[in-house]
Amino acid sequence: MPPEWTLIGDAVAMIYDTQGNRVFDSQGVFQYEQSLHDKHGDCDGTPLRFSGQPTPGHCAATLIAPNKVATAGHCIKPHLCGRLAFVFGATSDAMVFGTRFAADLRYSCASVEISESTGGKDWAVVRLDRSVPDSVASPVRVASTEVTIGTPVMCIGHPDDLPRKYAGDAQVNEVMQSGTDAFRFATNLDTFVGSSGSGVFDIERREMVGILVSGRRDYDDKGCAITYPLERGGEWVTGAKLLLPYSSVPAPSASSPPPPSPPPHPPPHPPSAPPAILDGGDDSASFVISVAAGASAAAVACLCLAACVALKVASPHGQGSVKPPKAEQAPGGTTGNAAQNC
For residues 48 and 225, the answer to whether their CB atoms sit within 8 Å is yes
Question: How does pLDDT run across 162-220, given as a tens digit for each residue?
Answer: 778 888 788 898 898 888 877 889 888 876 666 789 999 999 999 999 998 865 555 45
For residues 205 and 234, the answer to whether their CB atoms sit within 8 Å is no
Instruction: Give domain status of residue 124, yes or no.
Output: yes
Instruction: Give domain status of residue 99, yes or no.
Output: yes
Q: DSSP 3-state assignment of 212?
A: strand
- pLDDT at residue 290 greater than cutoff 50: no
Q: Under 8 Å CB-to-CB from 238, ≥6 apart: which residues?
A: 72, 121, 122, 123, 183, 184, 210, 211, 213
Task: Give percent of the chain with pLDDT exceeding 90.
Answer: 27
Instruction: Give domain status of residue 158, yes or no.
Output: no
The domain spanning residue 88 has which CATH number?
Answer: 2.40.10.10
Predicted confidence band of residue 243 (pLDDT cuts 50, 70, 90): very high
How far apart CA 281 and CA 274 sit, in angstroms, is: 18
Rounded mean pLDDT of the chain? 69
Predicted confidence band of residue 332 (pLDDT cuts 50, 70, 90): very low
Q: Under 8 Å CB-to-CB from 254, ≥6 apart: which residues?
A: 144, 145
Q: What are the residue ranges of helices labelled H in the chain? A: 3-10, 36-40, 297-304
Question: How does pLDDT run across 294-325, given as a tens digit for each residue?
Answer: 333 333 333 333 333 333 332 222 222 222 33
Instruction: Give domain status of residue 68, yes or no.
Output: yes
Instruction: Give domain status of residue 335, yes or no.
Output: no
Q: CA distances (Å), 303 to each of 235, 274, 277, 312, in order?
A: 19, 7, 11, 18
Instruction: Give domain status of residue 108, yes or no.
Output: yes
More confident residue, 154 or 19: 154
Instruction: Give domain status of residue 106, yes or no.
Output: yes
For residues 334 and 230, the answer to whether their CB atoms sit within 8 Å is yes
Instruction: Give domain status of residue 28, yes or no.
Output: yes
DSSP letters for 232-253: S--EEEEEGGGGGGG--SPPPP
- pLDDT at residue 147 greater than cutoff 90: yes
- pLDDT at residue 268 greater than cutoff 60: no
Question: How does pLDDT run across 80-112, given as a tens digit for each residue?
Answer: 898 888 989 877 676 666 677 777 888 999 999
How many other CB atoms sit within 10 Å of the CB of residue 119? 8
- pLDDT at residue 265 greater than cutoff 50: no
How far apart CA 290 and CA 120 sit, in angstroms, is: 40
Half-sphere exposure of residue 124: CA atoms within 13 angstroms, side-chain side: 27
Q: Under 8 Å CB-to-CB from 79, ≥6 apart: which residues?
A: none
Domain that holds residue 124: 3-34+51-128
Q: Looking at the 3D structure of the chain, how many domains does it have?
A: 1
Is the pTM higher than 0.75? The answer reads no
